[in-house]
Chains A and B, each alone.
Chain A
């Protein structure tokens, strides 16, 4: 998203690449480390399916039967006796999880320097859950086809890179992102699971459309709304001119504290609408405040994502 697509001169290309790689490498570890620390505090639950199937772990040796291919003979075991054995592994079914983190400008906001920006918290939680899922053997990817679901620890590195790109503010002003990004619902495989992290403050229709489409494909998932405490409490007073992060929208009032009740009502209304939408589509809605600990949100997400698994 924020990758620079500036015209590159041939002479500068290696240097540019290297500096981009270095800056990426410099941001990658903190996010990954934080996410892994976060994920490490959640113990993976039961993942083995207790039956024979495709998997990494040893399950049993059974005698070679009719119909088994010769290639399936485990020679190390068979060499001990006369009977030929086949080595069977435990069945492991991988789920596909799609992750979408809102990269809109409205996410790049923190009401005080003591708190993380909403997007930082969103990326952290998203990556931590991805790591958990990857450890569980799931395939995790981003919606929109930019990073298709894959498994393995390498995928966590790729996810971290992609998310830290999301996290960074665009350097080029011409690439200024819009205030509210519509949910990316393309390239989602049927029957997968999805996690959308955003503040869901933007226009409601695209979200509704995306969730309906996902529900049509049998995709179930979780919406995690990340809000700043200032957005929940509206601690403003006096003559104030409110501007959106990109500066595109603004509203001026003479008495900000008089607007508080109306604003909170509107926020609750929006939450109700989200809840209603989720109930219709079978998704779940979570709320996370950016000054709360990330672990609580991760725990909730882990269980919410686990629901409905076989």
Chain B
């Protein structure tokens, strides 16, 4: 590469083309724009005319300049100018690019990758074969063209672990297997790790080693520790920033879900490193509720696995089920068995209340049984199974337990001890002695270390039967040695019994702060210390969430389980990734940095050259110049058109603007250099790796998609009939509803929209308050989905008017086998419907007076009975009122056979379609049919308003008082 005035040129000889520009000037100058050729018959009239003002036949100077500039830009562009050209690297021969690629470099990974790309480009220009060695997951050395590695560079990601012994050994093996001599370029993350020297030695034996390191300190976050109710948050750095480049103040954010379920920053705290200090700590006090929500701590802006610390069970909010004996009695709150438990647990745990059979499937962490003596056998078995799975069953004694025969003779599985009959009471009016206080907790007890307030005293308790195993099970005792709290392990879980009540009846323990702390110690409200390796012996932990090198969540589905001790002691690596692990309902976080870790900066031996990152990457300008040339040429096209008059003035402005936009677009495209495109590719890949949650959102979108006709139908009352599949029936039904809609419009304030026909399988029923369903024997049964929607419709207040249209339902004994075909079909249709018990319409039904006073309901057939929902059995007729007091409910179905649609049916002009009866009486019958329709719609719309009207005098009378 030749460098001229800070610009490097890939092909400098092309610049000689610039010498040709003056010749081009002369050539272009002599050639005016070509004339247009026009066929014109009247040219004879033009002969002999001369141009009035002699215009120059030469190209205007500015057009010439434009063209020359375009050509010059093109020549310069093809010469391949490069801004800030990097100096040629010494050496030829094969090159091995060694990359640490651990989490420590993830924060600066973009720069690192750019540096690697630059070096690969250099190697490519020098035609050096290159091998890439990623120390955190070493592969065998593979010498390829640099461009091959460049194309694979976007797939190079930092791993969330440091190169461990296994990786170091694999690297050394790979290096030993290759017998080539090569130079090495080592992109270090800046941290030292055991085994680094051995690799350095191995590389130095093959050739020159150059270490490239950003020199920036590495930041790491230690897992927060709970100490005295606060969280101790500590951060580490590899070295103090020499030039004050790194902030000594960093921020730590605690992130988790808010009550609405969205991820957000729940708390943040600042940390400041003292000068030269490598560790900074602070304390964060959070409400327990907030603390339980935290999912991870992170240092914002540091995208690395080391700057993230996942939180596990220790901060999680537990689910506690509270069960008291007996039904809810309306006792005083302070006497309730569960009151103090609720008060103690509500801030720190999710409380579940209900019956055991409902709660057990929810698999709570703790179940509290307050004075529950007897459990049904199934519940008992289920509870045993739940405890054995790891549940904590916390029982309290009480009068019921004391008086029952639970755990009298034999030890019950769900009781830690056997109980003596009756219990004892101390210090009462009828007993000797004072109320007892608590003895200090023994060393093996979970309560060990808690201070016992003076005022805690016990006046009654149930007493454990002495047993050989009793001594092991007591975890708290009274001062006279009587067991107060006993515990028994059961499977993976345990059963704990407080020998007193959970309220203040038997002791003052629930009133004291000790009670809350005891619950905490029992892990009812919050979890304990990080577990020891030995305590996890024999368990297998399943990864739930793992972190990638950038500290983002990654898929953990395909990773194998980890044995418990390994999880605590083993080094991170491909098999043990930092993340959240789960076993039997407990979760344990394994973080990239653990307590006791420190960050040591890497030290390089003599003979190894150390370079930093180049700050100004080289930037090719060819695209920019070629884009400029293209823009100028397109301007030249426009200008030439303008000069030769081919460009009309009006359209010319638009064309110039359009060409300008195109030219600018090309220019911008030329400005973007190739590395940026590679980076864009990387970002696209990283986005693609992020978890996709589109199905849920797309489901929501689908729900918002409303057909336009639904809006109009919902805006106005629309009557609808069910399509039967028989064209004539459907036509008459629609015409009938049209007639009824017209009648309603003329006579009442109900102004319906034109009626519609609906298909039960496709249409939404919720828009129609009334469905008219003419039943024909041939009708197909609706599908199960349609039935489900019909039942929802009926339950949510819709009404269906079934019409067999044959008056054969007239028989009030439908079981005598004389039912018509349509009636039989109706039975089949209605079989799957959620229809309440029916009765023939009683004479005092509200349908008889919803708008008109009616006693029979003719359609085309004069009088058949109408079946509606049966009145409740206890409806009574009040003296002096002609109908019963039936206040609730609109009948969901009305069944009849009078073929109302035929009587209602009108054509477009409002004339009746079908004859009804004969003469005047026929018209009267049609009128009554319309009145029935009006009453029906009124009943649907107003419910039992007319029935309620009978109460108006009584209400007015009451108001008067």
Contacts and interface: CB of A to CB of B under 8 A. Distances in A.
Interface of A: 105-107, 109, 118, 179-180, 199, 201-202, 228, 230-231, 236-245, 249-256, 258-259, 262-263, 266-267, 270
A251 B33 contact: no
B672 to A, nearest CB: 40
14 contacts: A106-B42, A107-B41, A109-B39, A180-B44, A199-B42, A231-B40, A241-B36, A243-B43, A249-B44, A254-B55, A255-B55, A262-B49, A263-B46, A270-B45
B33 A244 contact: no
A225 to B, nearest CB: 12
A267 B36 contact: no
A258 B38 contact: no
Interface in B15-44: 32-44
Given A242-B38, A243-B43, A251-B43, 16 more contacts: A105-B41, A118-B41, A179-B44, A199-B41, A201-B42, A236-B40, A239-B32, A241-B37, A241-B38, A243-B38, A243-B40, A245-B39, A245-B41, A258-B52, A258-B53, A259-B46
B36 A201 contact: no
B680 interface: no
A201 B46 contact: no
Contacts of B46: 242, 251, 253, 259, 263, 266
Given A241-B37, A242-B40, A245-B39, A266 B55 contact: no
Given A239-B33, A241-B37, A242-B43, A263 B645 contact: no
B480 interface: no
Interface residues of B, number: 26
Interface string B40-67: 1111111101011111010000000000
A263 to B, nearest CB: 6
B110 interface: no
Contact of B43 (A107, A239, A249): A249
B645 to A, nearest CB: 2
A231 B36 contact: no
A231 B35 contact: no
Contacts of A243: 37-40, 43
Given A240-B36, A241-B36, A179 B49 contact: no
B40 A244 contact: yes
A201 B41 contact: yes
A247 B337 CA distance: 117
B450 interface: no
Nearest to A232: B42
Contacts of B51: 253-255, 258-259
Interface of B: 32-47, 49, 51-55, 57, 644-646
Contacts of B39: 109, 242-245
A201 B46 CA distance: 11
Given A254-B57, A255-B51, A239 B40 contact: no
A106 B39 CA distance: 10
Nearest to A104: B41
B41 A106 contact: yes
A179 B41 contact: yes
A215 B784 CA distance: 101
Task: Specify which of A105, A231, A251, A263 lies most central, judged by the most chain B CB atoms within 10 Å of its CB.
Answer: A251
A179 B32 CA distance: 31
Contacts of B36: 238-241
A199 B42 CA distance: 9
B30 to A, nearest CB: 16
B45 A244 contact: no
Contacts of B32: 239
Nearest to B36: A240
A267 B42 CA distance: 9
Contact of A238 (B44, B45, B54, B645): B645
B41 A228 contact: yes
Contact of A202 (B37, B44, B47): B44
Sorted from nearest, which 6 A-B pairs have the closest CB atoms?
A238-B645, A106-B41, A242-B40, A239-B35, A266-B45, A251-B46
A250 B48 CA distance: 11
Contact of B44 (A230, A236, A241, A244): A244
Nearest to A255: B51
A263 B42 contact: yes
Contacts of A255: 51-53, 55
Contacts of A118: 41
Contacts of B49: 251, 253, 259, 262-263
A258 B52 CA distance: 7
Contacts of B54: 254
Nearest to A269: B45
Nearest to A251: B46
A202 B42 CA distance: 9
A111 to B, nearest CB: 9
Nearest to A118: B41
A240 B36 CA distance: 5
A180 to B, nearest CB: 7
Nearest to B52: A258
A238 B644 contact: yes
A242 B46 CA distance: 9
Contacts of B47: 249, 251
Contacts of B55: 254-255
A231 B645 contact: no
Contacts of B57: 254
A115 B46 CA distance: 23
Nearest to A237: B645
Contacts of A230: 40
Contacts of A263: 42, 45-46, 49
A274 to B, nearest CB: 13
Contacts of A202: 44
B256 to A, nearest CB: 74
B45 A267 contact: yes
Contacts of B38: 236, 240-243
A290 to B, nearest CB: 11
Contact of A201 (B34, B45, B645, B646): B45
A124 B34 CA distance: 39
A281 B911 CA distance: 81
B649 to A, nearest CB: 10
A270 to B, nearest CB: 7
A245 B37 CA distance: 12
Nearest to A248: B43
A231 B39 CA distance: 11
Nearest to A180: B44
B758 to A, nearest CB: 54
Nearest to A261: B52
A267 B645 CA distance: 24
A109 B47 CA distance: 19
A106 B47 CA distance: 15
Contacts of B33: 239
Contacts of B42: 106, 199, 201, 231, 263, 267
Contacts of A253: 46, 49, 51
Nearest to A266: B45
Nearest to A247: B39
A245 B32 CA distance: 26
Contacts of B41: 105-107, 109, 118, 179, 199, 201, 228, 231, 244-245
A255 B35 CA distance: 10
A55 B467 CA distance: 153
Contact of A244 (B43, B644, B645): B43
